[in-house]
Amino acid sequence: MPLMAFLLAIVFAFATNSKPASEDVALVDGYIFQNGKCEFVTKCSTIPGPSCMVGATLRTKINETQCGSELYHWSN
């Protein structure tokens, strides 16, 4: 009987986990390519969803003259 109570406690501990780590929002700077360089606009998320846009889709920054991967909109 005590072993069964211990096993049930373990099962319920995992079953009541509030949210997986993959749902944590990872905020990064969002950039747009204009005037020949990658310029900061606002914060975006790396979690897939609707595109992060301010006139155009915002992206990560590779270097001063190259923007990288598409970023996503986040809400708090």
Judged against a pLDDT cut of 60, whether residue 18 lies above it is answered with: no
CA dihedral in degrees (11, 16, 22, 28; nearest 10)? Answer: -150
Q: What is the pLDDT of residues 41-75, one digit of tens each?
A: 999 998 888 999 998 999 999 999 999 999 999 87
Beta bridge partners of 33: 38
Cα angle value 50/55/60 (rounded, 5°): 60
Backbone angles phi, psi at 17, to 5 degrees: -60, 125
Per-residue pLDDT, averaged over 20-40, amounts to 82
Question: Which stretch of DSSP H or E encloses residue 32?
Answer: strand 27-34
pLDDT-based confidence at residue 5 (cuts at 50, 70, 90): low
CA–CA separation, 6 vs 66, rounded Å?
A: 55
